[in-house]
Amino acid sequence: MTYKDHPDDLKLVNWISARALEILDAAGAEQKWAHPVSEFAVHLLGTCRMGNDPETSVINPDHRAHDVKNLFLCDGSSLVSSGRGKPTMTIQALAYRAADRISALAKRGDIAA
């Protein structure tokens, strides 16, 4: 999978940045700045929801795919949204949790060879 910003997205970010500066001017801000707009990185989330019901989710709480026995997803795809801020630390925590769960499943013999 690759990601590339659409030119319209970049135009929109420039427009929003300009409006934000106008608001700061109107509010009497003494200092303001704007970062130059260029290609930006994103955290693609929510494509493989976690849950107990295979009808409404892709993976179970052990991070295991409902329909592919030995497939475990340990990334941001199980997050419905990032809530606030960058999701990197949450993704790392879920990956550590998944490793513990996978290890426990393997010790019980619940991972097919």
Q: What positions carry a catalytic annotation?
A: 43
Q: How far apart are CA 87 and CA 110, in angstroms?
A: 30
Closest CA to 64 of 97, 107, 93, 90: 97
26: closest CA among 18, 35, 36, 34?
18
Q: What is the distance between the alpha carbons of residues 71 and 65, in angstroms, rounded to a whole number? A: 6
